[in-house]
Amino acid sequence: MKENYDLKLDHKLLTQWYKKNCRDLPWRKSKDPYRIWLSEVMLQQTTVVAVIPYFEKFLTKFPTVHDLANANEQDVLEAWAGLGYYSRARNLHKAAKALAEGFPQSATELLQLPGFGPYTSRAVASIAFGEKVGVLDGNVIRVLSRKYGLSLEWWNSKERDQLQKISDSLALFGQADMSNQGLMELGATICTPQKVACILCPWSVSCVARETGTVGELPLKKPRRESEVWVWKPMVTIKDNKVALLKNDYAPFLKGQMIFPGEISREKSKPKAYDTKHNITHHDIFIQITRKKALAQKNLQWVPLKDLKKINPSSLLQKVIHKVEVE
């Protein structure tokens, strides 16, 4: 980034724009760190429109961090169902137990808690408590890369740090909460991945990507992780309307969660025959179901079929059970 960029002016223009144009979202109605934290966790990998009903439903069930801390994990997972990435819900629950004793106000302290990464800890600390630290998520990476014309491999820590320093610098001029939310709002509504509305952007006059015609080229695209083909052979045993599960210590997905016992192998190509298919992140899972009348395996837990979604809300298990029940 060139030294002659006026970060102070950039901060002023950004925060002025945000105050006039920010969307009316439920987690922006207060500085409650619990609500802000919950929204940030839910918004990972999910759109604002999709999150709002989940956010409101979750708060109805767990209105305070104390309610969440005292809740049963299965109730938390059930309230989270539909948002995916259930490890986030588990970490949310674990962190709530620590936060019930008091909410740390710095990003450094929050970073020590389960599920609090660099982004979430900085977002909560700056928005809820006004700490002068900048945030860096997908929206912010895109906005800063375009604004300052930076062709950085942002997925590498050294180059990502350059963007983090810019975000931190913008937050230092005061109103870090407005600066950070302004960057995120700009990326979500104006400087989007496919369509840009430069005429509405507070930084349009000084945007390097706009001046050089490189908006469509920035930020650089992260190389896609190659999908892995896995053949999963779950053993499904149903007795007295109960199904046998065990804690997953053998499959690379849904680690530590209750799943069907079975076998799994990574293959070079997809099998010719399979019962159904499922995708979790970069795992392409081809499922070959084995129906068993009895299991001699240890550490099994017999779960009522009606409670399966509570024990593990992943649609993968529902898909397998549905396949078994319709045949």
Residues noted as catalytic: 40
Chain-centroid distance, C-alpha 205: 33
The strand pairing partners of 247, in sequence order, are: 258
Q: Give 228's strand partners.
A: 283
**What is the SS3 assignment for 228?**
strand
How many separate helices (H) and strands (E) can be counted in the chain? 14, 9
Find the distance separating the first CA and the last CA of the chain, reported in whole Å: 62
CA atoms within 13 A on the CB side of 143: 30
The count of other CB atoms within 10 Å of the CB of residue 223 is 8
**Spatial distance between the Cα atoms of 54 and 49, rounded to a whole number of angstroms:** 10
The residue with tokens 């030294």 is: 3
